[in-house]
């Protein structure tokens, strides 16, 4: 990253205050100039990119990609980090063009310049969301960190846009409020789209069942190797007051077509072991791990005794794998846990931008 001493800290401080204020972000464009966007792109946007890296890594491990030939629409693009991460992960040649939308023309222009530099052969399409909504053009919708900035009418327009999309990849901050807002959008879109992630089922989201009011669907993205020992990032984190160890996020990935939820590898487990997603961060104690699992039957706080799977309990404490399992349990204790995603060797570094 750039030398923290060279960053425009007045702009970064103003942006962070705006983002944390939640309601203030809806007042209007907050991108003032190119320098503000450049400072953001190198710092806060890069941390958002780590969240995209985590989600896209899982999708690649599961051999899923958005349908080829669609327009990639980066909605609320800001500096364009989400769109660039998508293009790097799936290949620019997988998309017909890139369309960028933001309430700030300055941001859309900055994102276009960065995308053109990184992917010069990819056409940039001057198409607003409303034009795509009214046309027959197939598009993949990318949304990143916008729900807490949108007034109700704009949020409704975004859900309508998602309902029209061929595929949707959506990341929001991993807060209780943002997670549940994204889950509400998920429930509205599940009739028209197949749910790829995070859900292993297409039932109503169990977050909204009685007794689950305190829970939320979120995950943690780790920074790239070396970040925590990088003097620039360390100084940035100290100055900005952020934690580099992990970034919380919530996500939703959809593909047009009603039917079953995500295609997961078949596991050689008893019929009583449905596919489940582990939410949040498991708590690991000496004799067992405690985790929150979501499956078609609802949310379950479960204990995984160390004697059942000592290797998995140990890994949950230090390097949790992709949190998809076939879990055989009685509603309290897990009798068997079978991973549903084959992980690469530990030294295989994830690809990024």
Kindly state the tokens that stand for 237.
């984190």
Indicate the pairing of strand 324-329 with strand 334-339: antiparallel
Classified as helix, coil or strand, 287 is coil
Q: Which residue carries 């933001």 as its tokens?
A: 102
- The C-alpha angle 135, 139, 142, rounded to 5 degrees, equals 130
pLDDT at 266: 44
Residue by residue, pLDDT tens for the chain (353 residues) are 667 778 888 888 888 877 777 654 445 667 878 888 998 999 999 999 999 999 999 999 999 999 999 999 999 999 999 999 999 999 999 999 999 999 889 999 999 999 999 999 999 997 778 777 777 889 999 999 999 889 899 999 999 999 999 999 999 999 999 999 999 999 999 999 999 999 999 999 999 999 999 999 999 999 999 998 899 999 999 888 889 988 999 999 999 985 545 555 544 444 557 899 999 999 999 999 999 999 999 999 999 999 999 999 999 998 889 999 999 999 999 999 999 998 876 555 444 45
Residue pair 305/333 in contact by the 8 Å Cβ criterion: yes
pLDDT at 353: 52
Alpha-carbon distance of 329 to 315, in angstroms, equals 20
In CATH, 4-256 is 3.40.50.150:
yes
- Buried b or exposed e, range 97-120, using 16+ CB within 10 angstroms: bbbbbbbbeebbebbbebbeeebe
Alpha-carbon distance of 239 to 13, in angstroms, equals 10
pLDDT at 267: 44
Q: Where are the alpha helices (DSSP H) in the chain?
A: 9-21, 34-42, 44-61, 81-90, 105-118, 129-134, 152-164, 176-189, 231-240, 310-318
């Amino acid at each position: 990253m750039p030398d923290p001493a060279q960053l425009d800290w007045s702009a970064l401080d103003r942006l962070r205050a705006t983002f944390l204020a939640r309601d203030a972000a809806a007042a209007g464009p907050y991108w003032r100039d190119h320098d503000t966007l450049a400072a953001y792109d190198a710092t806060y946007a890069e941390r958002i990119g780590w969240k995209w890296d985590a989600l896209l890594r899982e999708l690649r491990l599961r051999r899923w990609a958005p349908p080829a030939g669609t327009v990639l629409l980066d909605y609320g693009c800001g500096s364009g980090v989400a769109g660039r991460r998508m293009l790097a992960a799936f290949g620019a040649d997988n998309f017909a063009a890139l369309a960028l939308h933001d309430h700030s023309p300055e941001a859309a222009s900055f994102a276009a310049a960065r995308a053109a530099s990184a992917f010069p052969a990819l056409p940039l399409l001057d198409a607003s969301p409303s034009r795509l909504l009214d046309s027959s053009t197939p598009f993949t919708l990318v949304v990143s960190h916008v729900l807490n900035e949108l007034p109700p009418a704009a949020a409704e327009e975004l859900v309508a846009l998602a309902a029209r999309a061929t595929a949707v990849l959506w990341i929001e901050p991993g807060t209780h409020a943002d997670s549940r807002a994204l889950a509400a959008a998920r429930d509205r879109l599940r009739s028209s789209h197949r749910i790829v992630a995070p859900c292993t089922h297409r039932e109503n989201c169990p977050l909204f069942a009685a007794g689950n009011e305190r829970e939320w669907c979120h995950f943690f993205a780790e920074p790239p190797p070396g970040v925590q020992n990088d003097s620039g990032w360390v100084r940035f984190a100290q100055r900005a007051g952020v934690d580099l160890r992990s970034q919380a996020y919530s996500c939703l990935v959809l593909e047009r077509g009603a039917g079953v939820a995500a295609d997961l590898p078949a596991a050689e487990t008893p019929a009583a072991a449905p596919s489940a997603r582990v939410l949040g961060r498991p708590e690991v104690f000496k004799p067992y791990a405690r985790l929150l699992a979501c499956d078609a039957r609802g949310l379950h706080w479960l204990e995984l005794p160390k004697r059942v799977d000592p290797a998995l309990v140990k890994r949950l404490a230090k390097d949790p794998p992709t949190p998809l399992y076939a879990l055989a349990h009685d509603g309290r204790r897990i009798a068997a846990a079978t991973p549903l995603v084959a992980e690469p060797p530990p030294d295989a570094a994830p690809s990024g931008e």
